[in-house]
């Protein structure tokens, strides 16, 4: 198996992109990634997208986007595993280069979510839950994560203020990211006094509805070394699934798929949690970040609520988490999120993260999660 590097990244500002179509957003980011990589051809491409049919009425986007990028007839595939679609697209691209089937692969993620109203967006996102045992009874993802949050608070003593501090930290990081949807700071009081969505979660505990895309270029490590730029290698990849419905799990405060995917990525990379310098995780809700860092072994089980409170996960902390602003501030165009996480890690390892740069970062991790944790993809990266 060949070693694989990320040689190009591309992303534009996320938000409510009314004036742009799905194909336009994709092409803009893909061209940025190709330009950053310094290549003008690809052997194949993968597109992570959760629900383009429900959001914009367009399926078969693998063909559409390859055509509009001017890359047909290259093989192109759309990848879907809910909000982890982008992360899984990266894993498939990584496997294709590692196997030797292709030398240059474009991996992208895309979602155009604001072309529908709030009800329709909620319905589309809700298809990532168990439709018979959760959706049929009217629960939404804020409700599911509220159940996780309440259980975590009861079991471990996690406080409402600790949840708020996750949002405060990520907005502080997002205020330093010019591509973030919400690049502004918030306070604990503003979180606690924001509109209630599903007790105990308020609107500022929740990631937004977002339009956006992200793209990266992968190639063999030998090719990357000839390009006279910092080389970022993918050294670990893990993927796992769990019960889609919370009611089927033994402990709804524990993300088993994240634990298993992380375990596999750590083993492949020959690394441990203490080796990670920087981490991007799937903070679709503030409680999600708390549960993810526990499942990845960054903190002990039940101690995730204390991490932001004690500034362990701040830019200057022991293990900076979501330096991009996370899903909370950067935005969450569901199919694109996993690829954007990789872009942040690559920028950090290259030393190109600007005001949010973490000093001397050499090993980074990205964790991308679908639904309420029914699927997770984890990747580990190292700068040579």
| 130 within a domain of the structure (yes/no) | no
Report the chain's terminal Cα–Cα distance, integer Å: 19
User: Rounded to an integer, what distance in angstroms lies between the CA atom of residue 5 and that of residue 222?
Assistant: 9
Question: Which of 225, 259, 280 corresponds to the end of one domain?
Answer: 225
**293-349 pLDDT tens trace:** 999 999 999 999 999 999 999 999 999 999 999 999 999 999 999 999 999 999 999
| 129 within a domain of the structure (yes/no) | no
User: Rounded to an integer, what distance in angstroms lies between the CA atom of residue 383 and that of residue 135?
Assistant: 43
Domain identity same for 218 and 357 = no
Domain identity same for 165 and 314 = yes
| 161 within a domain of the structure (yes/no) | yes
Active-site option among 60, 83, 239, 284: 83
Domain identity same for 220 and 178 = no
| 139 within a domain of the structure (yes/no) | no
Give residue 48's pLDDT. 98
Q: Which of 34, 40, 65, 37 is nearest to 227 (CA)?
A: 37
- Residue 332 bears catalytic tag: yes
Question: Which of 163, 192, 225 corresponds to the end of one domain?
Answer: 225
Domain identity same for 42 and 184 = no
Domain identity same for 105 and 191 = no
| CA 183 to each of CA 205, 287, 312, 343: distance values in angstroms, whole numbers, following the listed order | 15, 21, 22, 17
- Taking the mean position of all CA atoms in its chain, how far away is CA 255? 16
**Summary mean pLDDT of the chain:** 97
Is the pTM higher than 0.85?
yes
Contact 107, 218 (CB under 8 A): yes
Cβ-proximal residues to 161 (8 Å cutoff; 6+ apart), any chain: 188, 192, 309
310: domain CATH number is 3.40.47.10
For range 150-161, the mean pLDDT: 98
Domain identity same for 76 and 217 = yes
User: Rounded to an integer, what distance in angstroms lies between the CA atom of residue 210 and that of residue 198?
Assistant: 20
Q: Which residues pair with 383 in a beta bridge?
A: 232
Give residue 199's pLDDT. 97
**210-256 pLDDT tens trace:** 999 999 999 999 999 999 888 999 999 999 999 999 999 999 999 99
User: Rounded to an integer, what distance in angstroms lies between the CA atom of residue 58 and that of residue 351?
Assistant: 38
Domain identity same for 156 and 291 = yes
Domain identity same for 373 and 299 = yes
Give residue 229's pLDDT. 82
Give residue 126's pLDDT. 95
| 128 within a domain of the structure (yes/no) | no
User: Rounded to an integer, what distance in angstroms lies between the CA atom of residue 18 and that of residue 21?
Assistant: 8
Strand ranges, E, within the chain: 4-11, 44-48, 76-79, 105-112, 196-198, 201-202, 211-220, 232-241, 278-280, 363-370, 375-383
For range 277-285, the mean pLDDT: 98
Does the pLDDT of residue 291 top 90, yes or no? yes
Domain identity same for 108 and 174 = no
Contact 165, 267 (CB under 8 A): no
Band the pLDDT of 270: cuts 50, 70, 90.
very high
Domain identity same for 87 and 194 = no
| 123 within a domain of the structure (yes/no) | no
Structure tokens at 379: 């990747």
- Domain count for the chain: 2
Give residue 145's pLDDT. 98
Question: Which of 225, 254, 276 corresponds to the end of one domain?
Answer: 225
For range 125-141, the mean pLDDT: 94
| CA 321 to each of CA 11, 171, 306: distance values in angstroms, whole numbers, following the listed order | 20, 12, 13
Active-site option among 152, 171, 332, 379: 332
| 321 within a domain of the structure (yes/no) | yes
Contact 352, 241 (CB under 8 A): no
Counting residues of the chain whose pLDDT is more than 90, the rounded percentage is: 99
Give residue 380's pLDDT. 99
For range 148-172, the mean pLDDT: 98
Does the pLDDT of residue 114 top 90, yes or no? yes
Q: Which domain holds residue 370?
A: 144-207+235-383
């Amino acid at each position: 198996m060949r070693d694989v590097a990320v040689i190009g990244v591309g992303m534009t500002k996320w938000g409510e992109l009314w004036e742009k179509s799905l194909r336009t957003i994709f092409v803009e980011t893909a061209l940025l990634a190709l330009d950053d990589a310094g290549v003008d051809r690809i052997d194949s491409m993968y597109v992570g997208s959760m629900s383009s049919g429900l959001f914009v009425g367009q399926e078969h986007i693998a063909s559409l986007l390859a055509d509009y990028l001017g890359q047909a007839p290259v093989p192109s595939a759309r990848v879907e595993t809910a909000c982890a679609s982008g992360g899984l697209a990266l894993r498939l691209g990584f496997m294709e280069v590692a196997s030797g089937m292709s030398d240059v692969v474009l991996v992208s993620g895309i979602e155009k979510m604001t072309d529908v109203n709030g009800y329709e967006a909620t319905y589309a996102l809700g298809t990532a839950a168990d439709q018979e045992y959760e959706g049929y009874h009217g629960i939404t993802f804020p409700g599911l994560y509220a159940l996780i949050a309440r259980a975590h608070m009861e079991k471990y003593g996690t406080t409402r203020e600790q949840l708020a501090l996750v949002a405060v930290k990520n907005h502080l990081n997002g205020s330093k990211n010019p591509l973030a949807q919400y690049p502004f700071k918030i306070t604990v009081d503003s979180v606690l006094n924001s509109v209630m969505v599903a007790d105990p979660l308020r609107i500022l505990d929740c990631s937004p509805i977002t339009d956006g895309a992200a793209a990266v270029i992968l190639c063999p490590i030998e090719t990357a070394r000839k390009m006279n730029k910092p080389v970022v290698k993918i050294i670990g990849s893990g993927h796992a699934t769990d019960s889609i419905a919370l009611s089927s799990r033994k402990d709804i405060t524990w993300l088993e798929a994240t634990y298993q995917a992380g375990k596999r990525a750590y083993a492949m990379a020959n690394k441990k949690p203490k080796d990670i310098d920087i981490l991007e995780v799937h903070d679709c809700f503030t409680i999600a970040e708390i549960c993810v860092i526990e499942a990845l072994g960054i903190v002990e089980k039940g101690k995730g609520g204390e991490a932001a409170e004690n500034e362990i996960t701040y830019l200057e902390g022991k293990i900076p988490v979501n330096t991009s602003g996370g899903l909370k501030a950067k935005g969450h165009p569901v199919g694109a999120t996993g690829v954007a996480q990789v872009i942040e890690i690559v920028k950090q390892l290259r030393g190109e993260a600007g005001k949010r740069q973490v000093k001397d970062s050499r090993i980074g991790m990205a964790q991308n999660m679908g639904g309420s944790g029914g699927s997770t993809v984890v990747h580990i990266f190292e700068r040579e």
